[in-house]
Amino acid sequence: MPAAPVALVTGSARRLGAAISRALHAAGFDLALHYRNSREEVESLAAELERARPGSTLILQADLADIERVPELVASTTRHFGRLDALVNNASGFSPTPIGQATPAQWDALFASNARAPFFLAQAAASHLREAGGAIVNLTDIYGERPLHEHTIYCMAKAALLMATRSLALELGPQVRVNAVSPGAVLWPENSTDIAAHDALLARTPLARTGTPEEVAEAVRWLLQDASYSTGQVLYLDGGRMLAR
């Protein structure tokens, strides 16, 4: 029996990362499950997936702001599974940085998770992905193209990830495909309680509803497994939000 394809998913323990991990596992991938702080959640997820297919997961802890740890994630994955077929750069920091209050520490933190780590993970994974004919999917954001009030640094970091997607597609082709998924209103920030703002955003969304984590996960799976002639592209999973002002 041929070995299962292997995917490294960053920020896999919760929310979108957990949905992506479940979808890829159901599609036949073995998974390296990265987390930073959510140990209980990632252990629960791994146990769930192991019940379905024993020996199919590896848990990896790292703070992606620690650049020395980033290549270790790839090395640990390939050492354990013997291959790497897919990289999903899902982990992301999100916080407001109003002009006049933003700090260099906030800049460093937001760029570390949203731009620097995805690039250096791609660089570390490149030789393994070339060998496998693999693919990368980055989780970008519509706010990498349309600014969000009081979130300038976050928007800049996601814009950098968008450009990395396109540039890496050129650099790593033809062996490796690199694409992105850009969600719109799928999951609200965990501390968000502004119902009026949520309703106003949905009013500007042609499909007039939030998306689901499962819809994002299926988009990631499709780009990794089925989109064989797609690279350097962004799949907007936003209910049409990019069409409306």
Position 125 in a domain: yes
Active-site residue (options: 35, 154, 229, 236): 154
Domain holding 177: CATH number? 3.40.50.720
**Among the listed residues 94, 108, 104, the one whose alpha carbon sits nearest the alpha carbon of residue 154:** 94
Position 241 in a domain: no
Which pair of structure tokens corresponds to residue 19? 């949905």
Predicted local distance difference test score (pLDDT) of residue 31: 98
pLDDT at 193 > cutoff 60: no
Position 95 in a domain: yes
154 is an active site residue: yes
Kindly indicate the confidence band of residue 203, based on its pLDDT and cuts at 50, 70 and 90.
low
Position 135 in a domain: yes
146-190: per-residue pLDDT in tens?
999 999 999 999 999 999 999 999 999 999 999 999 997 766 665
Position 229 in a domain: yes
Position 242 in a domain: no
206-229: per-residue pLDDT in tens?
777 778 899 999 999 999 999 999
In angstroms, the Cα distances linking 27 to 4, 53, 221 are 10, 12, 8
Position 73 in a domain: yes
Q: Count up the domains in the chain and report the number.
A: 1
In angstroms, the Cα distances linking 107 to 34, 121, 187 are 23, 20, 23
Position 1 in a domain: no
Predicted local distance difference test score (pLDDT) of residue 244: 73
Kindly indicate the confidence band of residue 197, based on its pLDDT and cuts at 50, 70 and 90.
low
Domain of 34 in residue numbering reads as: 6-235
